Amino acid sequence: MDLFAIAFVVVCVVGFALLGGVARSRDETRGRRLESAFYAESHRQVHTDATGVLMCRSCGASAPERAGRCPSCGAVL
């Protein structure tokens, strides 16, 4: 009986460890996805014409390239 009790405890501990590991990896995966999306957005190259004017992707307003933010809606250019 002692052997079965020890085996049951070991199986329970391993099961809880696996469940905890699965939940953690899902959260880490979501965090990595958000980080990679932010990195891609922040390092996106924008090609402008000779005037240096960009068009806002959110509202369509025009703003100078060096402004960095749209004057109408505040979105990052």
Please state the three-class secondary structure of 37-66 as a single string.
HHHHHHCCCCCCCCCCEEECCCCCCEEEHH
6-62 pLDDT tens trace: 888 888 888 777 766 655 566 666 777 878 888 887 777 666 666 778 888 888 888
Nearest to 43 by CA among 19, 15, 14, 76: 76
Q: What is the pLDDT of residue 77?
A: 75
Q: What is the pLDDT of residue 27?
A: 65
The rounded distance, in Å, linking the Cα atoms of 44 and 76 is 11
Q: What is the pLDDT of residue 21?
A: 64
